[in-house]
Amino acid sequence: MKDFAGKIAVITGGGTGMGRELARQLVAEGCNVAMCDVSEAAMAETRRLCEVEKLPQGLRVTTHVADVSIEDHLKRFRDELAEQQKTDRIHLLFNNAGIGGGGSLFTNTREQWERTFNICWGGVYLGVRTFLPMLVAADEAHIVNTASVNGFWASIGMNQAHTAYSSAKFAVKGFTEALINDLRLHAPHVKCSVVMPGHIGTSIVSNSRKIQTGSETDSLTPNEILATRQRLKGMGIDTAPMSDDDIQKIALDRAKNFLEQAPTMAAAAAKIILDGVKAERWRILVGDDAHKLDERVRQTPDKAYTPEFYKSFTEEVGWRLG
């Protein structure tokens, strides 16, 4: 697909981060956008930002509250957008919604683990299932599934368990790669890409904990305070003299640093993704860190989960994820 003007794009998780920037850039190119998110307020802000530049005549930006891990929500989203966008077809599907957390089989509950897995994997799978007929009905279409570097490297550092997110992202990558041929055989006018971002400056850390805990506040629960103490201990930090307020502050700083100290910001990431779609690249790595990690894992797969690998890689790319 060489240009997006006059097309219709569906974006999941359009409320913040890369989803918001995809919406803004698509609208700027004259593409209609239908987005879903669990946060109505966040989508209202995305819509406002899209409308700051005067929308071309007749361009539609619609927002729909839906949890991508629940198939009935996605079906309702599809039916609403068909009515509001007055269409029976779409050209672009960005399965972008995702959260982190719930990473340990030992310290997290099964519910937390499955929440992350069901959003990051289930949301992509159900998104494709739900929208495939509308994509096939278009004369050309493209599915863009967001995995992560955690789709080829199942770690976020030596001090944190990361099983739910990594399994989900590996699944997204495998699914999308296999989809290439399924589409080639059965719907050759529909293409697909898997997106693998490195560290991108977004509010995913604070958004994820809010979605995991079902709370709008930034205050950590007693269990989260305990988990943060354990993580810091794993990093060799003595938390005994620290009050719970100190721990709370460290957690807030971590979320802020994740957003502000990233090597690639969300708007730059969205541009890389859209350029990748236009170039019909099936694998879209986002950020120099993602490219370097991809090379290193291929060069020395046996060492990928050793402390030396992590140290040398993070020193090279300047990751400070904590």
Ligand X SMILES: NC(=O)c1ccc[n+]([C@@H]2O[C@H](COP(=O)([O-])OP(=O)(O)OC[C@H]3O[C@@H](n4cnc5c(N)ncnc54)[C@H](O)[C@@H]3O)[C@@H](O)[C@H]2O)c1
Question: Catalytic residue positions?
Answer: 165
Q: Are 164 and 114 in contact (CB under 8 A)?
A: yes
* Half-sphere CA count of 212, side-chain side, radius 13 A: 29
Nearest-angstrom CA–CA distance, 292 and 283: 15
* Half-sphere CA count of 125, side-chain side, radius 13 A: 17
Catalog residues that contact ligand X under the rule CB under 6 A.
Answer: 12-13, 15-19, 36-39, 42, 67-69, 96-99, 119-120, 123, 146, 148, 197, 199-200, 202-204, 207, 211, 266
- Least spacing, CB of residue 296 vs ligand X, in Å: 17
Nearer to ligand X, 138 or 173 (CB): 173
**Tokens for 276?**
């990748």
The end-to-end CA distance of the chain, in Å, is 39
- Least spacing, CB of residue 169 vs ligand X, in Å: 7
**Tokens for 26?**
């698509």
Nearer to ligand X, 138 or 153 (CB): 153
Nearest-angstrom CA–CA distance, 247 and 239: 8
Best CA proximity match to 44, nearest among 16, 18, 66: 16
- Least spacing, CB of residue 120 vs ligand X, in Å: 6
Nearer to ligand X, 130 or 202 (CB): 202
Which are the contacts of 50, defined by CB distance < 8 A and separation ≥ 6? 23, 24, 27, 33, 61
Nearer to ligand X, 67 or 272 (CB): 67
- Least spacing, CB of residue 200 vs ligand X, in Å: 4
Nearer to ligand X, 99 or 247 (CB): 99
How many distinct helices (H) and strands (E) make up the chain?
12, 9
Nearest-angstrom CA–CA distance, 12 and 142: 14
- Least spacing, CB of residue 38 vs ligand X, in Å: 5
